[in-house]
Structure 1
Amino acid sequence: MDRFDPAQPVLDLSASSTVLTQQICDVESVSGDEGLLADAIVASLAGAGHLEIVRDGDTIVARTNLGRAERVVIAGHIDTVPLNENLPTRYETIDGEAYLWGRGTVDMKAGVAVQLKLAAELTDPVVDITWMWYDHEEVSNDLNGLTRLAANRPDLFAGDFAILGEPSNSQIEGGCNGNLRAEIRTFGLRSHSARSWVGDNAIHKTAPILATLAAYEPRQVEVDGLVYREGLNAVGISGGIAGNVIPDEAMVHVNYRFAPSRSGEEAIAHIHETFPGYDIRIVDLAEGARPGLDAALAQRFLAAVGGEAKPKYGWTDVARFSAMGVPAVNYGPGDPLKAHADDERVRVSQIEDCEAGLRAWLTGAV
């Protein structure tokens, strides 16, 4: 293949998954600017006669229609958070371990590279496969490519099991915690700070809220054999008008990560029970997803990958599939602690392990 040009990318799906990761990462695709990479993905699959290709905006779906008894959906997003002098990619060795360094290597273009390579090569898998590569994951839900695709083509989500290529150190992470954000407000009476006794300080009234949060003991909840850790924390606080004014309003921004055994409504109720009598406004709510490892298909996947399934503490798009009745897990190369980091980097061995695990499962080798 000729020297790779990220300005006019041609993805080489015959290259190793590591080289393909590098090619995909070197095509800048910060959220809202995924078009060039989406074009390259479509062009790279043009000769794959075993795949039906559907494009919705910058979301690409490629699926087999072999009449298999079971269908699996395997998805990954193609956008990244903004760059910070971490492209083009480069290789580096740390303690004898080879890494690919650069924006998107972890979150989550290494997983996309593995998926693209397998999509092109697996012409006769043991299950039908729907591959999804979608845009706008790193921004608001209303822009997310899966939100749009679910509205336009809900039929494409049909499946018996789903895998999302979120970084998980190439180990299975089942389901995900739910996520809630609430604003808890306090109110007082504004006055001049020189005569503070005339007013009523709303910021001071946040003290019991902060004390409750500091003393809160989050649950550890077992759900279908996996133990999820919850968290209830202040993530922001605001109030005040001027340096000589007693404030009449203040707000504590609270984030609640709740186990998937608890519904969104139950999570809201828990916030109200924990902070009775306060003005509470729920500003964001995303349901969690149960592990999705009960089915025989999922158990075969676990056997092919090896290791022990773990819970996903953060929220991911597996919850979308779960809400549509498709059990889903996270499985992709990369340490999630390096996602969005300036030194974002993925172990080459994890890219190779992820490809080997998916290939063995999808071909029935294990």
Structure 2
Amino acid sequence: MTALFDPTAYPSTSVEWIKKLIAYDTTSRESNLELIHDVQAYLQQQGLETVLTHDASGRKANLFATIPAADGTRTGGIVLSGHTDVVPVDGQNWSSDPFKAEVRDDRLYGRGTCDMKGFVGVTLQLVPEMLATRLAKPIHLAYSYDEEVGCVGAPVMIDDLVRRGVQPEGCVVGEPTSMRTIVAHKGINAYRCRVHGHAAHSSLTPKGVNAIEHAARIITAIRDLADDYKSMGPYDHDFDVPFTTLQTSMIRGGIALNTVPDLCEFEFEYRNLPGVDPEPILQEIREFIDLKVLPAMRREHPDAVVELEKLASAPGLNPEEQAAITKLVRELTRDDTVRKVAYGTEAGLFQQAGIPSIICGPGNIEQAHRPDEYVELAQVEQCEQFLRALIRSQAVTA
């Protein structure tokens, strides 16, 4: 795929920017480098320095750029953060090409319009206005990879910021919130469990170790733990789902009806309230495996093994109502309602690095990841107004 736009000429509206970003298939399993390199070229044409941080394979990159303050300062200031990857469209029934955004009925349809190339497109559209403003403090642009598979890219970028001493004073993560302020979200922890049994002919079941059956016991224990959190808490009723949740989402095992399966693997996740330590949850699952499941398996065969592999984790976001960024976003959006959400974002990672963060962006989260994903054009315009007000708030006043 060739570059979709000439970096020496930027689109005249945010909608055109969003359309161009949508045309890059940056599904998390794919590389995002074409998008990143073309956006980098555009920003460099605007006279900005950019920093790329890559994944281990070199196929993906984060991009960080700074619009410096009027006096040249590049540290402090506010980060505008968005991810460049999107979820797959496999098996979904779309009314139009998901990677060719189109406007219908005052909505912009396409994969990522809502989550979250809409916000990224608006920030790129407003770069010339940021440059034209005499800023008292810098504004930073942070575009990450692999948020959709567990916030994998952002930690690489944040570690680089820490090493370079950039230390922003606040961060706005533009996930879809219908342009309302979100002050907290849950943590997310994802694991793969591999249960290794012992194969045998199904007529000789006592000579085998049925990996699927023992995996089922672990899965049931995870569900029991989920039921405990649902019935006993702790609770935070400011959240849309006010308790910690657990679920098993994928499972694979077995090769034939007449064979005792020697392998079963499944993925599970849990989403903890910000005040709930995620480690004891994992420890309880490990203890069930070590004290209940493994001894039973090894009575059947001594070589039985259960493995747990961490796939991804990202911390929850705690409310920071007294933080300057929270007060600023609440003032600009005229929104004082306390909202907390079950989905995860990169905001918790910025907060963990000492950068107070809040979530506010165009689109409704209910449209994310679905076929015919869309963002309302009114939301895009509202985001433009919000970010223009934010830029003005950072201008030199005297």
TM-score tier by shorter-chain length is: 0.7 to 0.9
Give the partner amino acid of 1:348.
L
- 1:212-291 alignment, distance < 5 Å: 212-215=221-224, 216-217=226-227, 218-219=229-230, 228-272=242-286, 277-278=292-293, 279=306, 281-291=308-318
Give the % identical residues. 23
Match of 2:67 in 1: 63
Given the alignment, which residue of 98, 121, 129 partners 2:129? 121
Tell me whether 1:360 sits opposite 2:389 in the alignment.
yes
Q: Deviations over 1:5-38 (max 9, x none)?
A: 9634448657232333224334555555444433
User: What is the correspondence of 1:36-185 to structure 2 with a 5 Å cutoff?
Assistant: 36-46=34-44, 48=46, 52-56=48-52, 59-66=63-70, 71-81=77-87, 85-93=97-105, 98-122=106-130, 123-125=133-135, 127-138=137-148, 144=153, 146-154=154-162, 155=164, 157-184=166-193
Alignment root-mean-square deviation, CA: 3.5
1:347 aligned partner: 376
Unaligned runs of 5+ in 1: none
- 1:160 to partner: Cα distance: 1.8
Secondary structure of 1:182's counterpart equals strand
SS in 1 for 2:114: helix
User: 3-state DSSP class of the match of 1:277?
Assistant: helix
Most deviating of 188-197 and 102-111: 188-197
* Corresponding residue for residue 326 of structure 1: 355
Q: Give the distance between the partners of 1:65 and 1:224, measured in 2 at CA.
A: 41
Give the length in aligned residue pairs.
353
SS in 1 for 2:12: coil
Provide runs of 4+ in structure 1 moved above 6 Å. Answer: none
**Partner SS, residue 105 of structure 1:** coil
Q: Which runs of 5+ in 2 are unaligned?
A: 54-60, 91-96, 294-305
Please report how far the alpha carbon of residue 313 of structure 1 lies from its aligned counterpart in structure 2 after TM superposition.
Answer: 1.7
Q: Secondary structure at the match of 1:166?
A: coil
CA distance in structure 1 between the aligned counterparts of 2:187 and 2:176, rounded to whole angstroms: 18
Q: Is the 8 A contact 2:169 2:355 kept in 1?
A: yes
Deviation at 1:61, TM superposition (A): 0.9
Of 286, 305, 320 in structure 1, the residue corresponding to residue 333 of structure 2 is 305
Residue 189 of structure 2 aligns to a residue in which SS? strand
> What does residue 4 of structure 2 align with?
7
SS at match of 1:283: strand
How far the C-alpha of 1:56 sits from its partner, in A, is 1.6
Q: Secondary structure at the match of 2:275?
A: coil
Q: What is the deviation of 1:101?
A: 0.8
Alpha-carbon spacing, 1:224–1:115, altered in 2? closer, same or farther (3 Å): farther
Relative distance call for 1:319 and 1:270 in structure 2 (3 A) is farther
Name the aligned partner's letter for residue 333 of structure 1: P
Comparing 268-277 with 352-361, greater Cα deviation is found at: 268-277
Confirm or deny: 8 A CA contact 2:150 2:314 kept in the other structure. no
1:249 deviation in Å?
A: 4.7
Distance 1:246 1:70, change over 3 A: closer
Rate the CA distance shift 1:272–1:16 in 2: closer, same or farther, 3 A.
same
- Residue 317 of structure 1 deviates from its aligned partner by 1.6
Q: How far off its partner does 1:99 sit?
A: 0.2
TM-score, normalised to structure 2, is 0.74
Per the alignment, residue 343 of structure 2 pairs with: 314
Per-residue deviation, 1:73: 1.2
1:325/1:205 Cα in 2 relative to 1: closer, same or farther (>3 Å)? same
**Which whole-Å deviations, capped at 9, do the CAs of 1:228-279 have from their partners, x for residues lacking one?**
5421111123333432222345444322111222334333224336665344
- CA contact 2:78–2:138 (8 Å) conserved in 1: yes
One-letter amino acid of the structure 1 residue matched with residue 254 of structure 2: G
Alpha carbons 2:4, 2:20 under 8 Å: kept: no
Mapped to 2, the partners of 1:236 and 1:73 lie a distance apart of 36
Larger strand proportion, structure 1 or 2?
A: 1
